[in-house]
Amino acid sequence: MKRSLIILAAVAVLGSPAARAQSRTQTVSLSKGWNAVWLEVEPDVADPAAVFEGTPIDRVAAYTLPASEAQFATRTEVNVHTLAGWTVWFAPHRADAPLSRLARLSGNKGYLMHASEPVTLAIPGTVRMSAPRWMPDCYNLVGFTVEAPGGPTFRQFFQGSPAHAQSKIYRLVNGTWRQVLAPDSEALRPGEAFWIYCKGASDYPGPLQVTTASKMAVCLSGTTPCRLMFLNRATHPLSFTLEQVTAGNSDVPMSARISVYSDRVVGQAGTASVDFPAGTWTQAFPVYEAGSGVTLPLSLRPGSLAAGTYHSLLKVTTDIGSVTYVPVTAVNE
């Protein structure tokens, strides 16, 4: 029987919405045995012993060295004891618990997790905007946030990257590493980590590159706008939607300043404000061809907002099912 558990963080500052960081709860479903997991959030609790207390998870491993195909193609079954490069946490009840070396869990990182029985975890944490750090000319254990169901196929996701488009991919199936032989039909899954070879250097973030001027988040203060930039890195057209996620976060009222042009006077231009609601909202964007994109200048609309610091999330979802979360921090003085 599958168990469902919620990992709670005993962090005092979580009591006030304005004091919270950009939070999201990631749901991870684990099968009995080994699972390859991509942790999308920075856990509120980082100590594995605290995170997995009372759960059937008894081993967690993180890989720390460049990987060759021999790590999983010639030895298809998971064995973190015999292969170099693994840092492992063992549950306290195990005889090998004193050998534990994995002291904390980090977001945007791949792990192998072993469960003695099926379980579903709800892990609350903070969203960090971070592009993949590809290690060149070796296999990388990676994962990406995608819709469930409806994630992109491996071909759709990686076709726009010369370093990955023709690379071999291995995913964990029933405790065994299996090569993805049908990238046109096999889809990425949320919370799943997999091995993919990176040929040469790469900064590929996925089909839709989402960046901000601050590199880390949308930062709103006063009337100064913060640019949110979208670029289609795929080889095919993409459209997307932008949504403010307020669950577990603050309501941040914001506006977009867009350029407007007169039909009657050539060259005459101005700006207009598009006001988004303070709560949850969704805005659809048109189709962008490969290599094209758009910049959205966002600014805080303080109105009756009390003085303080507020946090929310923007969720960007493409029409092929890839997802990017963008943290928002707003300061009203």
Same domain, 52 and 141: yes
Q: What is the mean pLDDT of each run of 10 residues along the chain (333 residues)?
A: 50 38 90 96 95 96 75 63 77 94 95 96 92 92 94 97 96 94 97 96 97 86 88 97 85 82 56 84 95 93 86 95 95 88
173 and 98 co-located in one domain? yes
This prediction has a pTM of: 0.87
Whole-number pLDDT of residue 239: 97
In a domain, residue 310? The reply is yes
Tokens of 332: 């009203």
Q: Which amino acid is at 21?
A: A
Residue 46 — left, alpha, or beta (φ > 0 → left; ψ -120 to 50 → alpha)?
alpha
Q: In this structure, is residue 203 part of a structural domain?
A: no
Residue 221, domain member (yes or no): yes
Q: What is the pLDDT of residue 14?
A: 36
Last residue of a domain, one of 172, 198, 224: 198
Q: Say if residue 184 is in the same domain as residue 90.
A: yes
Q: Quick one: 247 and 295 in the same domain?
A: yes
Residue 50: the pLDDT is 95
Provide the b/e sequence for 124-141 (b: ≥16 CB within 10 Å): bbbbbbeebebeeebbbb
What's the CATH code of the domain at 281? 2.60.40.10
- Of the three residues 198, 218, 251, the one that is the final residue of a domain is 198
Residues 235 and 91 in one domain: no
pLDDT for 268? 54
**Looking at the structure, do residues 145 and 11 belong to the same domain, yes or no?**
yes
The pLDDT of residue 213 is: 83
Q: What's the confidence (pLDDT) of residue 15? A: 37
Residue 145 is part of which domain span? Answer: 3-198
pLDDT value at position 246? 80
191 and 231 both lie in a single domain:
no
* Number of structural domains in the chain: 2
The answer to whether residues 123 and 51 touch, using CB atoms and an 8 Å cutoff, is yes
Distance, CA of 33 to CA of 174 (rounded, Å): 7
Query: Which residue, of 166, 198, 230, is where some domain finishes?
Result: 198
237 half-sphere exposure, CB direction, 13 A CA radius: 6
